[in-house]
Structure 1
Amino acid sequence: MIDVLIAGGGYVGLSLAVSLKKAAPHLQVMVVDGAPEGAWEKDERASAVTAAAERMLDVLGIWEAIAAEAEPILRMVITDSKAADPVRPVFLTFEGDGGDGRPFAYMVPNTALVGALRDACKDFSIPVRQAKMVESFKSGDHAVAITLAGGEGLEARLLVACDGVRSKLREAAGIKVVEFDYGQSGIVTTVEHERPHGGTAEEHFLPAGPFATLPLKNNRSSLVWTEGTHDAERLVKGDDFLFDEELERRFGHKLGHLKVVGGRRAFPLGLTLARDFVAPRFALAGDAAHGIHPISGQGLNLGFKDVAALAETIVEADRLGLDIGSLAVLERYQTWRRFDTFRMGVTTDVLNRLFSNDITPVRIARDIGLGLVDRLPSLKSFFIRQAAGIAGEGDPRLLSGQPI
């Protein structure tokens, strides 16, 4: 019998598998992934990895493999303006580290991160079954009976769904969600520029939504560009000249000539929060448990927090001789993660509503607020710690750089 079967071969599913095997090598862990073989190698996106997530990846032996491709974020600049404004006043800047002199975050290409995790799975002899997905499952007293597409049957003590924000397994488990569509889409692409970015990330709050530029290696930046869904689709499907013109209006000329060097895609944005994270012999992690607006850049790191909490819950229960799939054990994970996730979901929801508009009184109030934060070192330090994901007392050990 498999101890833990993980459905989903993205960064959450793979890092959970590695975390479990590193802490408890005797556990039988398997990953099944519905994506075709090699699909992850076509992902041109990059993700922000906080200082806490870096510590976790370092403990797992992953960080060394991706460090050469990770670009530190040394400074964060926030502006609030219209796209046509000739000058964009800076209302807030963040500079600092995530502890031990490390940057508070890094930008890492998704292919580098997933590739390193897949290599680690091979090193730990964790089977990753590609182009396989869980078709159905039924939880029993001692095991969960799982049927894969094609009819193959498996048994596991615990099934973990890491199958994305539209999780079919979450639906099959009967777990309800709080869901809201923002009517926005995030355009994601990569640009090359003449001058170096100096490790600076910028977030421009524009009436349609935030326009974020995030530093990458070799004079490149990753863009997360929020627009209304209709406009985003028009820009992505339109000709290159129109896209480049609109991009230049938002990016500006401070880094010289711009060139789009990656594909461009638009992803619908919304808020999705699972009402429960667990059921008997079943747990949600990553986007299957929560999908939030990218305004804070914390989506991936919420997933890593899930991994750290769930892995510690499972491993400690196993060491005590407890049933790792029982609801009594899994409730600890739910208690650990549900409040933090709802708090982050509400925070990003409020920020998006507050900044994605052009109402003059609201703009004046928010700009005064940003200016006050910029002038209060203690408050800025708090926000830097939040951005770095620095673990507090009672947080999972992996996020503090400690093994389970």
Structure 2
Amino acid sequence: MSPADAYDVLVIGGGMAGAAFACALDGSGLRIGLVEASRPDAQQHPSYDERTLALAWGSRRIFDGLGLWPALAAEAEPILRIHISDRGHCGVARLDARDEGVPALGYVIPARALGGVLNARLAGRGDLDWLCPAVFERLETGPERVRCHVTVDGVPRTLHARLVVAADGARSRVREQLGIPALAWDYGQTAIIANVSPERPHAGVAYERFGEDGPLALLPLGGGRCALVLTVAQGDAERVLALPDAAFLALVQTRFGDRLGRLLRVGRRAAHPLGLVKAREHARARVALVGNAAHTLHPIAGQGFNLGLRDVAVLAELVAGAVRRGADPGAPELLAAYADGRRWDQRNTIAFTDALTRVFGNPLAPVRLGRNLGLIAFDLCAPAKHRLARQLMGLSGRLPRLALGLPLAG
């Protein structure tokens, strides 16, 4: 085994979760390899496309702990309030940052901006090797190391690592190679994403509006724009994408209403099929799954990336602690602690988003009546609103150091 091919930690996938994990171990003294199919350019990377991300308050604190928030703050638009409604019915629920004693419930940031900041932190680090463009082929686990076969710029290589972190997305080849089963559910829906410009200022309000056609979200962005996530039936996605701008805006206006006045302009549109993926195991034999490799959620309530970032924060804290003790970063007990520590948060968040999708997508009259009465009762119940706000902000349960805004060392 050549020293050039030996790593302490090998991260498969250099998207947002993988790059964040590598950033978290900056200064740890570990030798890290990052295997990624695309070159580290936020303008070209598929994870850093035209999407916007809703960062929970807890995720902002994780970036604080990583020392990255000052670089992100200029691109982040605060979510001051959340407005939840059901089209055609009177039920409304509202959450307000002032009631929670925080400056914002969360933030909205372009994926490209986040990618640029992550890649800038990783660039030039002497303890990190960018292995790209690279293709992960297969792995072999052993008692002390994992052997990973990859093709780097067309050249086959065999890499060795004490810990492999699978951050290679919903169709994780690492997960498949290990034979880890996953629950997969197709919602039969597609998310159409775009930026729109409304007539009235958004005033920092994030809107989640449910209807028989699926949920619609309008999130505050800089420059008076809003990030749109429009859910349509899969069979309608191609037609909706092809609509002229005026017809598309009219469709969105019908489903959203006129709370922000007329919708004046729309940017480039893109489509993303929606489904649920939940790995049955999140760690096995010197391998840990993080982000979409472990769980892919419906974008309702904007929890997917935040859940993955909490995976990163917990695993990084455990690995950093092992380094300080001189222990093995891929030891079975460390990976068991990671899986146990993430189980509650993952289970609750997945159940919450899946239930919202099913309940608010049910057209039966008794269900519609029940959910609208529920929204009204919820809006009048301060303790219930506080509990939901804590969950949406990523502040429920036991929090790792980074989610408290603290660096890993200290």
- Asked whether the two chains share a fold, i.e. TM above 0.5, the reply is yes
Letter in 2 for 1:101: V
User: Quick check: 92-101 or 163-172, which moved more?
Assistant: 92-101
Q: How does 1:197-346 map to 2 (within 5 A)?
A: 197-346=202-351
**Separation in structure 1 between the aligned mates of residue 68 and residue 92 of structure 2, nearest angstrom:** 37
Q: How does 1:88-99 map to 2 (within 5 A)?
A: 89=90, 91-97=92-98
1:60 is the counterpart of 2:66: yes
1:71 is the counterpart of 2:77: yes
**Separation in structure 1 between the aligned mates of residue 40 and residue 82 of structure 2, nearest angstrom:** 37
**Separation in structure 2 between the aligned mates of residue 216 and residue 377 of structure 1, nearest angstrom:** 28
Letter in 2 for 1:115: G
Contact 1:57 1:63 (8 Å CA) reproduced: yes
1:159 is the counterpart of 2:164: yes
Letter in 1 for 2:389: I
Where in structure 1 are there 5+ consecutive unaligned residues?
83-87
Shift of 1:310: 0.5
User: Quick check: 305-314 or 121-130, which moved more?
Assistant: 121-130
1:148 corresponds, among 150, 158, 166, to 150
> What TM-score comes out, normalization by structure 1 length?
0.93
Letter in 1 for 2:336: E
Match of 1:47 in 2: 53
1:176 is the counterpart of 2:181: yes
- C-alpha change, 1:90 and 1:368, in structure 2 (3 Å) is closer
Letter in 2 for 1:107: V
SS in 2 for 1:115: helix
Shift of 1:19: 0.7
Contact 1:391 1:399 (8 Å CA) reproduced: no
| Deviation digits for residues 346-386 of structure 1 (CA, Å, limit 9, x no counterpart) | 22111111001321110111111111110011111111111
> What TM-score comes out, normalization by structure 2 length?
0.92
1:400 is the counterpart of 2:404: yes
| Deviation digits for residues 104-144 of structure 1 (CA, Å, limit 9, x no counterpart) | 10001111111101111126443333321211111112111
| Deviation digits for residues 5-48 of structure 1 (CA, Å, limit 9, x no counterpart) | 111111111110111124x1x11112121125532386111101
User: Quick check: 34-43 or 51-60, which moved more?
Assistant: 34-43
2:135 corresponds, among 133, 136, 155, to 133
User: Quick check: 151-160 or 40-49, which moved more?
Assistant: 40-49
**Separation in structure 2 between the aligned mates of residue 2 and residue 280 of structure 1, nearest angstrom:** 16
Where in structure 2 are there 5+ consecutive unaligned residues?
1-5
Match of 1:362 in 2: 367
Shift of 1:58: 1.1
1:350 corresponds, among 347, 352, 355, to 355
**Separation in structure 2 between the aligned mates of residue 357 and residue 243 of structure 1, nearest angstrom:** 25
User: Quick check: 202-211 or 133-142, which moved more?
Assistant: 133-142
Contact 2:170 2:294 (8 Å CA) reproduced: yes
**Separation in structure 2 between the aligned mates of residue 103 and residue 196 of structure 1, nearest angstrom:** 17
Contact 1:183 1:228 (8 Å CA) reproduced: yes
**Separation in structure 1 between the aligned mates of residue 343 and residue 115 of structure 2, nearest angstrom:** 26
| Deviation digits for residues 157-182 of structure 1 (CA, Å, limit 9, x no counterpart) | 11111011111111011110011111
SS in 2 for 1:156: strand
Shift of 1:253: 3.4
Contact 1:30 1:127 (8 Å CA) reproduced: yes
- C-alpha change, 1:9 and 1:318, in structure 2 (3 Å) is same
Letter in 1 for 2:404: S
Shift of 1:190: 0.9
**Separation in structure 1 between the aligned mates of residue 148 and residue 239 of structure 2, nearest angstrom:** 42
User: Quick check: 3-12 or 99-108, which moved more?
Assistant: 99-108
- C-alpha change, 1:155 and 1:291, in structure 2 (3 Å) is same
User: Quick check: 212-221 or 250-259, which moved more?
Assistant: 250-259
SS in 1 for 2:24: helix
Match of 1:85 in 2: none
Match of 1:386 in 2: 391
| Deviation digits for residues 55-82 of structure 1 (CA, Å, limit 9, x no counterpart) | 1101211110110110000011111124
Match of 2:3 in 1: none
Shift of 1:197: 0.4
**Separation in structure 1 between the aligned mates of residue 265 and residue 157 of structure 2, nearest angstrom:** 45
**Separation in structure 2 between the aligned mates of residue 321 and residue 327 of structure 1, nearest angstrom:** 15
1:35 is the counterpart of 2:38: yes
Shift of 1:390: 1.7
**Separation in structure 2 between the aligned mates of residue 51 and residue 124 of structure 1, nearest angstrom:** 28
Shift of 1:260: 4.2
Match of 2:114 in 1: 113
SS in 2 for 1:146: strand
- C-alpha change, 1:350 and 1:99, in structure 2 (3 Å) is closer
**Separation in structure 2 between the aligned mates of residue 182 and residue 45 of structure 1, nearest angstrom:** 20
**Separation in structure 2 between the aligned mates of residue 352 and residue 72 of structure 1, nearest angstrom:** 25
- C-alpha change, 1:10 and 1:323, in structure 2 (3 Å) is same
Shift of 1:90: 5.2
**Separation in structure 1 between the aligned mates of residue 381 and residue 204 of structure 2, nearest angstrom:** 23
Contact 1:52 1:391 (8 Å CA) reproduced: no
CA RMSD in angstroms comes to 1.8
**Separation in structure 1 between the aligned mates of residue 317 and residue 55 of structure 2, nearest angstrom:** 20
Contact 1:71 1:107 (8 Å CA) reproduced: yes
SS in 1 for 2:202: coil
**Separation in structure 1 between the aligned mates of residue 25 and residue 9 of structure 2, nearest angstrom:** 9
